[in-house]
Amino acid sequence: MHPLQCVLQTQRWGPLASVSWLLLRTCRAHSNVPSTACPSLERQQEDGVRKDFSSRLASGPTFQHFLRSASAPQEKPDMEDPPPYLTVDELLGRQRKVYLETYGCQMNVNDTEIAWSILQKSGYLRTRNLQEADVILLVTCSIREKAEQTIWNRLHQLKALKTKRLRSRVPLRIGILGCMAERLKEEILNREKMVDILAGPDAYRDLPRLLAVAESGQQAANVLLSLDETYADVMPVQTSPSATSAFVSIMRGCDNMCSYCIVPFTRGRERSRPVASILEEVRKLSEQGLKEVTLLGQNVNSFRDSSEVQFNNAVSTNLSRGFSTNYKPKQGGLRFAHLLDQVSRVDPEMRIRFTSPHPKDFPDEVLQLIHERDNICKQIHLPAQSGSSRVLEAMRRGYSREAYVELIHHIRESIPGVSLSSDFIAGFCGETEDDHLQTVSLLREVQYNMGFLFAYSMRQKTRAYHRLKDDVPEEVKLRRLEELITVFREEATKANMASVGCTQLVLVEGHSKRSATDLCGRNDGNLKVIFPDVEMEDVNNSEVKVRAQPGDYVLVKITSTSSQTLKGHVLCRTTLKDSSAYC
Between 179 and 346, name the residue whose CB sits nearer to ligand 5AD.
Answer: 179
Hey, what's the torsion of the CAs at 485, 488, 494, 499, to 10 degrees? -100
In the bound state with ligand 5AD, the residue whose beta carbon lies nearer, of 208 and 383, is 383
Q: DSSP letter string over 476-505?
A: HHHHHHHHHHHHHHHHHHHHHHTTTT-EEE
Give me the residues that bind ligand SF4 (CB under 6 A), please.
104-105, 107-108, 141-143, 178-179, 262-263, 266-267
Q: Which residues contact 431 (CB under 8 A, 6 or more apart)?
A: 386, 388, 391, 456, 472, 480
CB of 105 to ligand 5AD, least distance (A): 7
Task: Kindly tell me the sign of the dihedral angle through the C-alpha atoms of 333, 335, 340, 345.
Answer: negative
Q: Does 457 bind ligand 5AD (CB under 6 A)?
A: yes
83 binding partner (options ligand SF4, ligand 5AD, none; Cβ < 5 to 8 Å by kind)? none
Beta bridge partners of 81: 78
Contact between 14 and 270 under an 8 Å Cβ cutoff? The reply is: no
**Residue (143 or 278) nearer to ligand 5AD, CB:** 143
Residue 385 has what DSSP assignment?
A: B
144 is in the binding site of which of ligand 5AD, ligand SF4, none (Cβ under 5 to 8 A by kind)? ligand 5AD
* Contact (Cβ atoms closer than 8 angstroms) between residue 200 and residue 181: yes
143 touches ligand 5AD by CB under 6 A: yes
Alpha helices in 22-105, H assignment, sequence order: 27-30, 40-58, 63-71
Instruction: Give the one entry of ligand SF4, ligand 5AD, none that residue 70 binds, where binding means its C-beta sits below a cut-off of 5 to 8 angstroms depending on kind.
Output: none
Residue partners of 467: CB distance under 8 A and separation at least 6: 259
CB of 439 to ligand SF4, least distance (A): 21
Contact between 459 and ligand 5AD by CB under 6 A: the answer reads yes
- Which residue, 7 or 258, has its beta carbon nearer to ligand SF4? 258
| Cis before 356? omega within 30 | yes
Q: What b/e sequence results for 127-159 when a residue is b if at least 16 CB atoms lie within 10 Å of its CB, and e otherwise?
A: beeeeebbbbbbbbbbbbeebbebbeeebeebe
**Residue type present at position 558:** I
Among residues 336 and 456, whose Cβ is nearest to ligand 5AD? 456
Total residue length of the chain:
583
Report in angstroms how near the CB of residue 205 gets to ligand SF4 at its nearest. 18
CB 297 within 8 A of CB 251: yes
Question: Is the Cβ–Cβ distance between 538 and 544 less than 8 Å?
Answer: yes
Site size toward ligand 5AD (CB under 6 A) is 12
Pick one of 392, 425, 495, 566: the residue that binds ligand 5AD (CB under 6 A): 425
Cβ proximity to ligand SF4, 118 vs 141, nearer residue: 141
- Minimum distance between the CB of residue 385 and ligand 5AD, rounded to whole angstroms? 6
- Closest to ligand SF4 by CB, 107 vs 507, is 107
Q: In the complex, what is the shortest distance from the CB of residue 448 to ligand SF4, in angstroms, rounded to a whole number?
A: 20
Nearer to ligand SF4, 107 or 136 (CB): 107
Q: Shortest CA distance to 225 belongs to which of 8, 462, 21?
A: 21
Interface map 359-398 toward ligand 5AD (x if CB under 6 A) = ------------------------x-x-------------
User: What x-and-dash track marks residues 84-123 binding ligand 5AD by CB under 6 A?
Assistant: ----------------------------------------
By the 10 Å C-beta count (0-12 exposed, 13-18 middle, 19+ buried), 173 is classed as buried
| From candidates 99, 265, 399, 456, binder to ligand 5AD by CB under 6 A | 456
Q: Which of 247, 260, 404, 531 binds ligand 5AD (CB under 6 A)?
A: 260
* Contact (CB, 8 A) for 325 and 398: yes
User: Is the Cβ of residue 455 or residue 492 nearer to ligand 5AD in the bound state?
Assistant: 455
The residues binding ligand 5AD (CB under 6 A) are 143-144, 260-261, 383, 385, 423, 425, 454, 456-457, 459
